[in-house]
Structure 1
């Protein structure tokens, strides 16, 4: 196949790259190739946020959507047809600072200089979602936007103050960051068919249709599928692995959809985690905390729900909740699709039921939820941390009797796994403390957790059982208020509930 150059909008003009390796990161390109050194490298795995940039993508309505991502794990060919905004772009033509930068200076939120550009770009992406001179973003919105920026040399308050102050400052003058100009440039970069890029003997394919994607996967079953690079990117930056050819799902338009179908919410495999969780939470509000605690906003902007499912990590946060809700996964090979319960996809550690040449095309989640549903996550940090234990509980109760129970955990086994014994201990029993404690004890039959750097086996076993007890406390007939079981709920701390927890 004839190779095509990578084309994207950056620094006010169209850029073309024709000789970079397919796994060269956006950060390497910026710092080493074009000497835009404002963007920094800290962790090289998408955690610290020093490398944060903003990607602009043209939407069907002709507008440009801006989202913050981690440049250290994004591969350069994924920029094709998009806009790349870095901290160098924010300086106005007369040399004055952008309102985001000025607000950080005024509020004393500027830091040592290493991490500050990442904060600037996260806040700039938030700035694009609001009207200059209008209402400031809520404190919680600012905190969500900054979950991917871990350094706090100057403390949290000055940075959050800057996020609220920036909207009150005079709007920037029209310039190279004018959304209409960017949209016009991106319209000229649109490709009709598959984007093929090759360098150093490696191929990067970015099809526009599911049929073209399926044909390439069927023809080369071993080709590596690339979604948001939030996991695969680390294989390069941390493990220095050779990935071979890459098949990119991010441009497949007919795998980018969220639609209700036959009583199920169907989410295409190309949908990023952020809009996917927004749609899921609209139908299942109990998912909101898990949504906000799933990695960080830049990771959720890049990674996909389909990729999280296909990866099959035993500590992936999506799977326990989706399994408890009764989700199904749609697999495709060529033009043939099949559907199976999500829990049946995982056979062993990083081994799935997908056949050679098959891939995750979509996820289907019931629109109607159970009578009681909760998800919980235990981790060392509240924001942007990998779970030690992730739990999901779903039960139906009629006349005080549990008629249906689905319980799933992550971090407790080699795969995301249902708790069959605990479910059996609940089904047909009164929803009372005795049944809850019987199910807690039955978890010992379901799981034999391991000890690792995140938690000991004993902690995981005790934590899992206590989460089930918390679920009962929150859903019993005289349920405890949120402030009694969640330290972050309004009014938390007024009461201390220690019984059994």
Structure 2
């Protein structure tokens, strides 16, 4: 459906060679281009929303002279976002003579495929894992489960695929299967940046803000993990797109004495790594935020700016006391203007916010931990991995001498926007940290919000779970363990079975 007035040239690297496609519309997905233009039909469309992983491909980007690999969902990734990157599909792994790549051979030997529809996606996730571990060395079952969480299979029961993940590192790499990283990096450097007025991808922050001021009606995208759904599920069309992820300043995580600043173009994978490095107890929650391909594409800034009431990042960031920095281009002064607000004050209604037409959310500032602080976040969903929350509750608390000295609580799935539980905080602040205080705060928390019923949970369920999660936080603070799935080991589950 591309036209001369709504399309531009796309160039990326494949099999070490530049691929150039003309007249690619700004709202076409990478999956559409791969299947329809390049006839790479090994890459499948399953759900069309980044859940099943059948469409997984691997992207390569030159960073600091090294090649970084990321498995992503091609079904919701806009094609022009891979301008200047390397792309691998399932057709690109075997040697020219037909010898299988170790990830493919391991799947064969471990009987990891049955109907075969999901297999290309699993193979590509395994390929990303293989490359990032320098040949698949030392992968255990836990790592394999985490990195394959974005791929679903209805046939094999996953054990054979997890076996393949552990076995691929022991298999020989046939000649012609390996990636010549030095040559790939050199080839990527030769690719020209994108040009055109339909898919805008400025490489600096000032240029990005000037483009926003000049094109206020352009659809802003980051990792496309939500906007991609508008294309595939709602059939929306965008004549012009503005991509924030190529602005180099916004791809950084900066550390200061009292806070870290996460750029809006930092992927969820890297953003959560930064948060976990500050607060290791958040690791399990970070791994449950969608599947790895979504985390590799999506950005923290995009998640926050999108403002979904069931977005998992915002309750956590609200509890941690995060601020957001909104920026715009001041044409009169010819410089960047900015303002900083608390994250919970960003939203005015369902997917509505205070940003002006020429503003962009550019930075998220997260306070660093203080002595005595406890920070916990709970995600309740029907499926443990790769699922959207029915309820998300995040709590940050400091208790001194048995008294609550500081507390902040963020909640998701209980209102039209991500919210801060101020009434519940008031019921806790300055009170003794006792069962009676928790009981009163639980009642306040349940009374503070009026959740709705939808496909994920009933209003009554959400109402009950909200209070139960605060009770759980209390029990854990008293040393009670093994009351959640994260604390159970494989041997525990086998014993129950």
The verdict on a shared fold, with TM-score over 0.5 as the criterion, is: yes
**1:487 and 1:493 in contact (8 A); partners too:** no
Partner of 2:459: 457
Corresponding residue for residue 381 of structure 1:
383
Counterpart of 2:332 in structure 1 is none
Aligned residue for 1:9, secondary structure, equals: strand
Please state whether the residue corresponding to 2:200 is helix, strand or coil: strand
Say if 2:8 and 2:23, in contact at 8 Å, map to a contact too: no
Contact kept, 8 Å, 2:7 with 2:23, in 1: the verdict is no
Q: Which residue of 2 aligns with 1:422?
A: 424
For residues 305-344 of structure 1, the C-alpha deviation after alignment (integer angstroms, 9 at most, x for no partner) is 0000000110000000110010010110111011111111
Q: Distance in 2 between matches of 1:112 and 1:342?
A: 46
Aligned-partner Cα distance in 1 for 2:475–2:32: 50
Pair 1:122-2:117 in alignment: no
Task: Say how many residue pairs are matched.
Answer: 484
- In the alignment, does 2:332 pair up with 1:337? no
Query: Is this contact kept in 2: 1:57–1:64, CA < 8 A?
Result: yes
2:248 counterpart residue number: 253
TM-score w.r.t. the length of structure 2 is: 0.94
Asked if residue 22 in structure 1 is aligned to residue 26 in structure 2, the reply is: yes
In structure 2, the residue corresponding to 1:196 is in which secondary structure?
A: coil
Query: Helix, strand or coil for the counterpart of 1:316?
Result: coil
> 1-side partners of 2:151 and 2:494: how far apart?
31
Q: Counterparts in 2 of 1:106-117, with a 5 A limit? A: 106-117=109-120
Which residue in 2 is equivalent to 1:284?
A: 279
Q: Does 1:180 align with 2:177?
A: no
* 1:11 alignment partner, one of 1, 12, 15: 15
Tell me if 1:46 matches 2:50: yes
Query: In structure 2, how many angstroms separate the alpha carbons of the residues matched to 1:68 and 1:396?
Result: 39
Aligned partner of residue 20 in structure 2, secondary structure: strand
Give 1:499's aligned residue. none
Question: Counterpart of 1:467?
Answer: 469
Kindly indicate whether the alpha-carbon contact (under 8 Å) linking 1:136 and 1:165 is maintained by their aligned counterparts in 2.
no
- The CA deviation at 1:196 is 2.7
Answer yes or no: is 1:307 the counterpart of 2:307. no
Structure 2 residue 96 is the aligned partner of structure 1 residue 97: no
> Secondary structure of 1:127's partner?
helix
2:319 pairs with 1:324: yes
Alignment of 1:188-203 (within 5 A): 188-191=190-193, 195-197=194-196, 203=198
Asked if structure 2 preserves the Cα contact closer than 8 Å seen for 1:421 and 1:445, the reply is: no
Consecutive unaligned residues of structure 1, counting only runs of 5 or more, are 497-501
Gaps of 5+ in 2: 330-335
Per the alignment, do residues 485 and 46 of structure 1 end up closer, same or farther by CA in structure 2, a change over 3 Å counting?
Answer: closer
Secondary structure class of the residue paired with 2:23: coil
C-alpha separation between the residues in 1 aligned to 2:163 and 2:227?
36
Per-residue Cα deviation, 1:199-221 (whole angstroms, up to 9, x for no partner): xxxx1101000000000111222
Q: TM-score when scaled to structure 1?
A: 0.93
Q: Which moved more, 1:265-274 or 1:483-492?
A: 483-492
**CA-based RMSD:** 1.9
Instruction: Quickly say closer, same or farther: Cα 1:492–1:484, change in 2 above 3 A.
Output: farther
* Counterpart Cα distance in 1 of 2:212 and 2:413: 31
Alpha-carbon distance in structure 2 between the residues aligned to 1:487 and 1:214: 42
Shift of 1:485: 3.7
Displacement after TM superposition at 1:421 (Å)? 1.4
Aligned residues of 2:291 and 2:385 also touching (Cα < 8 A): yes
